[in-house]
Amino acid sequence: SWKCLDWIILEQQRDSPQENGVQTNQYSSISPPASPVAQDEPFSTYFEEKVPIPESPNQVFSFRKLWAFTGPGFLMSIAYLDPGNIESDLQSGAKAGFKLLWVLLLATIIGLLLQRLAARLGVVTGMHLAEVCNRQYPTVPRIILWLMVELAIIGSDMQEVIGCAIALNLLSVGRIPLWAGVLITITDTFVFLFLDKYGLRKLEAFFGFLITVMAISFGYEYVLVKPDQGELLKGMFVPYCAGCGPVQLEQAVGIVGAVIMPHNIYLHSALVKSREVDRKNKKEVKEANKYFFIESSIALFVSFLINVFVVAVFAQAFYNKSNMEVNAECNATGSPHTDLFPLNNGTLEVDIYKGGVVLGCFFGPAALYIWAIGILAAGQSSTMTGTYSGQFVMEGFLNLRWSRFARVLLTRSIAITPTLLVAIFQDVQHLTGMNDFLNPILQKLPFALIPILTFTSLTSIMNDFANGLMWKISGGIVILVVCAINMYFVVVYVTSLNSVLLYVLSSLLSIAYLCFVGYLAWHCLIALGVSCLDFCSRVRNRPAVLIEEQSEYDS
């Protein structure tokens, strides 16, 4: 029995973190290096250059400081403007008119709150979410979590490359085939990703330029179509959908899934490390949190306006339009794409490609080309930020120390190869339809939302900046709602399958998925203060009780 007790004590000492001889909870504290720049890192990263923050003593707010902190939030906001989001916007307008704008607004606000948590984690700890997961989770859950996040990044990246290829096809009037568009996207992504060698601020300025291109392109369509402003405001601020059915409900769920992307949480927690902040100085950390939140709010407001432009254009011009009407209009204008719209009275269904075509039919060739320019900017910018996400996630979870070129090549190849194969063997209709297949792959929100709430709620990690009671409650509710919506989207897709074998396989995968989400949720609830669930801690503390009882007996 004593041998057994000694073994238990050794296991307790090995598994339980201690601070100054006092046993702590199952999560270790994080003490990042005071000067990450001084570390000997044999590989180049986004953080080779740190942006200095100007001094502004006795100022509550400084525009110079806000400008110094501006950059990470706008790079993060590009995930709210990727081709998947644009397609969700145009389908929302075509299927529900202005009625789902309030869902878009709510999803953007929820996204802002989650991005706030991601930025705070990066600022306070000096580590991004993948690095924290690597330190805090056991090996097997950590590997599973990495695979799930990596799968979501690959699916998102495929959508973005598809968007670029379609935009190039539209701009060239079909002369650039889809497979060539994919190859062009691969090449220019490699080129643009090395812009940070010329300075971090230049890279951030380039992303700002692409966001401006999107705003001008989709803003032009908005001005051209002249949406009803009264209906727009009503749809944005009245949380109701009159006459909506299953189609509109599924679209509303799709909006939330498109706006809140799991890899974006990992990305934002890493990007904030690019500013010079003394993490030993509580005042500087608090100030950095404030300015990053302001910058993120401005960036997401801009992205929300661009999304509203797209929804409003298709709500005003194509809501309740039939295929017959569109076919007749395209035929009258001499469009070569008339065959995309069958001669029936079915409701018009649009995607990124058809969206450009119908704009060209109804509002002239300029509308089509400007639309394609906006899609190209959205796809190119989101492909670049997606590559950064892949690098941060892989480096953080696996602690890789590869060369920059090797990391970019690997993350690009994993996502590009399946897209290129599809582009070679399928036409544009099947390529845009890939989004329907990719949407279930992208439903990995719990694997970002649960860890970020877990770690930002722990004082052993966040110290004085841990989430308060209100943030814990509201964050828990938000994540519960978002994950429920996420699960609904997966169920809708699985029930649409027409194969017993696929049903069985999907059921097994769903059970494994739910079990792992339950594991993460269990850790999260413990971090939120539900101590009755901390069974492991009680088991590990039991040997100490046995030792005390044995000592009393011996005495």
Q: How far apart are CA 382 and CA 164, in angstroms?
A: 10
Determine contact, residues 452/114, Cβ cutoff 8 Å.
yes
Nearest to 236 by CA among 81, 107, 352, 87: 107
**The two structure tokens encoding residue 143:** 């590997």
Q: How far apart are CA 6 and CA 11, in angstroms?
A: 9
Q: How far apart are CA 159 and CA 434, in angstroms?
A: 8
DSSP secondary structure letter of residue 395: H
Determine contact, residues 238/99, Cβ cutoff 8 Å.
no
Residue with tokens 């704009």: 359
Determine contact, residues 312/98, Cβ cutoff 8 Å.
yes
Tell how far CA 181 is from the center of its chain.
Answer: 24
Determine contact, residues 68/51, Cβ cutoff 8 Å.
yes
Identity of the amino acid at 456:
T
Give me the DSSP letters along 330-376. HHHTT-TTGGGS-SS-PBP---HHHHHHHHHHHH-HHHHHHHHHHHH
Sequence-distant (6+) residues with CB within 8 A of 143 are 397
Residue 144's pLDDT is: 92
Residue 465's pLDDT is: 92
Q: How far apart are CA 203 and CA 73, in angstroms?
A: 13
Q: How far apart are CA 555 and CA 537, in angstroms?
A: 28
Q: How far apart are CA 359 and CA 378, in angstroms?
A: 18
Residue 13's pLDDT is: 42
3-state helix, strand, coil in the chain (%, to 5): 75, 0, 20
Torsions phi, psi of 22, nearest 5?
Answer: -105, 130
Nearest to 9 by CA among 541, 554, 428: 541
Q: How far apart are CA 51 and CA 353, in angstroms?
A: 40
Q: How far apart are CA 388 and CA 274, in angstroms?
A: 13
Residues written for the chain: 555
Determine contact, residues 360/145, Cβ cutoff 8 Å.
no
Sequence-distant (6+) residues with CB within 8 A of 554 are none
Identity of the amino acid at 463:
N
Query: Residue 180 class from Cβ within 10 Å (0-12 exposed, 13-18 middle, 19+ buried)?
Result: middle
DSSP secondary structure letter of residue 47: T
Q: How far apart are CA 211 and CA 241, in angstroms?
A: 31
Q: What is the CATH number of domain 63-528?
A: 1.20.1740.10
Residue 40's pLDDT is: 40
Determine contact, residues 81/382, Cβ cutoff 8 Å.
yes
Identity of the amino acid at 154:
I
- Domains of the chain, by residue range, sit at 63-528
Residue 124's pLDDT is: 94
CB atoms within 10 A of CB 60: 6
Tell how far CA 229 is from the center of its chain.
Answer: 30
Q: How far apart are CA 90 and CA 220, in angstroms?
A: 15
Mean pLDDT, the chain cut into blocks of 10 residues (555 residues total): 38 42 47 41 56 83 92 94 91 93 94 94 93 91 90 82 89 87 80 73 91 96 95 93 85 84 91 91 93 96 97 93 90 86 86 91 93 94 86 85 70 72 67 56 76 92 90 84 73 71 80 86 85 63 43 49
Residue with tokens 């705003």: 215
Q: How far apart are CA 370 and CA 356, in angstroms?
A: 9
Residue 539's pLDDT is: 45
